[in-house]
Each structure stands twice: as structure tokens, then as C-alpha cells.
Structure 1
Amino acid sequence: MKFNTQDAVFNLEYNAERSHLIIPEYGRHLQKLIDLATAIEDREERNKAAKYIIDVMGTLNPHLRDVPDFQHKLWDQLFIMSDFQLDVDSPYPIPSREVLNQKPERLAYPQNFPKYRFYGNNIKYMIDVANKWEEGELKNALIIVIANHMKKCYLSWNKDTVEDAIIFNHLYELSGGKIDLTKSEEELSTSYDLIKVNKKQSNKTQFGSNGKTIVKKGKSTKNNNKQNTRK
């Protein structure tokens, strides 16, 4: 049989002429299969075709078989890919176009615009909680924790040392005058204790330029081991 090149070129399909893929991850062949199942007139045969398509979709996503409600997701995608034209008996509620196109509500983003932004919003929340507590040792301990954390936040913004009086004044202002440590004799943690970082020793401090281990804190070294071996 002679091959007609003109007919082959005439029957070629270009992406610009093809229908839109609703869920491109499943590919063109599965989309065509769903279109054929939608066109079946017999309802029983249409239900069989839908179950077969669900099996094929599950085979394409084997990593999702253990995910809860995996079958429910596949049936929803089947109706979505059919443009909600497929009329079959689904074991799950059939989604609607209105629910799919429904826009989510806008999330309210907290914009408090605090005066001292380097403290953050969480400090203000903690201060508000401390204001609601009854007077006692537990509340006093919480206030000291808040003040130390404020000092740590201040030092992360300003690397210089900060006096406790500044933190106490800020705490008094942020608490609305309910927490007053300006006249107390409380002392916060030192700036060194709040900002110190455990740094790892570099190779230059552990080893000399010749690659030999440096003697430090009485630990045995390569040089000492060599001397012991000679003895």
C-alpha cells in the first residue's frame, strides 16, 4: 500500500488546534479517553468506562495510593477534566463548577505597626498576657523573662551594650504603664550572655602550618606520641 504524504500532512494535529487540557499532568490521551466516555449514551457502559479511567489515573500516580481520600481526589479530577459534562454514578459527592471557581476569602494580615519593631509582635502579645495575670511570683518571673528577651532583641538590632533602664522604660511604655521596673533593683542578664555564640574552632587553630596537632589543654598530640614512641 502506497503511503500518501499529503494525507498524512493534512491529518496532522497541531497544539494550536487541539482542545485545552484542563489538567495537563494526565496528558492528551487520558483527556481524549474522558471525552469518549462522556459521549457514551448507555449509562451502564458509561459507568464502566469511568471506573476504568479512575484505575488508569491511579496507575499514573502510584505514590498517592496511600494518601487519605485518594479515590475521592481522582473522582473530583475526573469530573473537572470532563468539564462537568460526565454523567455517571460517583461514590463521592460530585463537585460543582461554582465551588471550583469560588475565590478564597482574603486573609487578614496583622499590621500593628509597633513603635519598636525590633521587639516584634510576639513581645507585645506576651506583655498583654502578663498584664492579665494576677500579682505573684509567677507573674514576676514572666516579666523578667520578657525583659530579658526584649534586651536580646534590642542587641540583635543594636550590637552595642544596652542599659537595663532603657529596657525597663520600653517595657513600661509597651505595657501601658502597668509593668514598672524602672524603680526596682532587678538586674537583667548581661549583654555577653545574651549574644554569645558557641563558635567552632577553625582548622587553623587546631592544626599548625605544618599539619601537626597543637598541644592544647593537656590533650595528647602527634608530637607527644612520636616522643613517647622513641622512648
Structure 2
Amino acid sequence: MVFSANPFALSVPEPAFESWLRDTGYLEVLDHRTSAAASAAATSNSAPIPTTGLFSRLVTLLSLFTLNPFSKLTAEDFAGDTPSWSRSFIGFCGSYSFPSSPSQARFRVLENVKRYARNYAFLFIVFFACALYKMPLALVGLISCLALWDFFKYCSDRWGLDQYPLIRQCLLRIAQCATAVILIFSNVQMALFCALSVGYAGVILHAAFRKLTPVKPPSSSRSR
């Protein structure tokens, strides 16, 4: 039996439907859709290449390093509340899975970085503090730079250097040169590089493996 097409059926294009899911917050549905599409494409190949599983996973991981995970970040992402570290950010064992395709990995990274921007920022501060703890000279140099600029601000307010812009500009250039010399000789840039490297790798791996779950659990209100 052949059924005729319903003239009143609503046909929504795939991009429009995905845009609606994204705008309404159903990101977990998009995550499942990308995973199902990747698995269907993999099973449709009649002659799979040997070791394609390992090769595809390697390609998926390498594709993450060509992505800018902070391209969609805005100031509003840091202005909200910090997601829960235990239930939301870390989650449970079932909250993680290997991305089935590079597109799913990129989608997870972009969305998770926006969702957990405050968590990642706090982790970077922790990594930077640990790097300074392992490098005491860099810690001393950073404190010296902060003290130098605090002393410059104090002298500027005490002596009223705002009335002498030329003298203030000269002292400002001297303070900048002194700061650059202190940072270079105390090796602060190495501590910053280590913190950035570890933080970037942590952000990429966590955001790629973390499943997209609903932001707020559905309310289980019962009618009385």
C-alpha cells in the first residue's frame, strides 16, 4: 500500500531544525544526531580500511589542534554563574565518550568552552599558580612587577604627575622597560607558557570528551 503525501505536513530543513535546537538549548540532541550520523556513515562503507578505528580516532584528535576553541566566547560567558564542579563540569562516568567524528569533536569543544568558560579560567589560574610555585624566581619577578606598578601609581598620585604629562610619560616608559627586564630575567614567560600549554590541552581534551547534557535538569513537578 502506498500512502499519499500529506499536504499539511510541515517539512523543516535540516539547518533550520539544528538552528532551532541550538537556540532552544537542546544541544544534547545535536550531539546525539552527529554521533548517529557518523556511525551510519561508517556502517555504510562496504570496504572499510584496515585499522580504520585507530586511524579515525587519531584524525579526530589531530583535528582538534586546528580549531580555535575560543572563537565563540563572549564577555557574557564569564559574567554568569560558575557551573557546578561535581555534577556539571566533572559529571559521572557516563558523561564522557570518545567523539565519533571530527565534526562532533569540534561541536563539543565550541559548546563546552562556552558553557564551562568560568571553570576553565579558574583552572588556568590554578595551573599558573602551580607553575609559579615550581619556579620561585618567576614568582619573585611577578611580585616585583606588581610592586613596581603599585609604587608608580602611588608616586603619580602623590606628586600629581597628571599635571606634567611629559614627565609622567617618561616615567611610564621607564617602568615598562623595567617590567620587561624583570619578566625576562625572572623567566616569567616560561611559567606562563607552561600554564597555557597545560591549560589548553586540558580544555581541548575535556571539552571534546565531555558529552553535551542539558544545562538544567527537567523539573519533575507533579500536579496536585
Q: If the TM-score is normalised by the length of the shorter chain, which range does it land in?
A: under 0.3
Give the structure, 1 or 2, with the largest relative contact order (CA under 8 Å, sep 6 or more): 2
The structure with more helix, counted as a fraction of residues: 2
Q: Which has the larger radius of gyration?
A: 1
TM-score w.r.t. length of structure 2? 0.21
What TM-score results when the alignment is normalised by the length of structure 1?
0.20
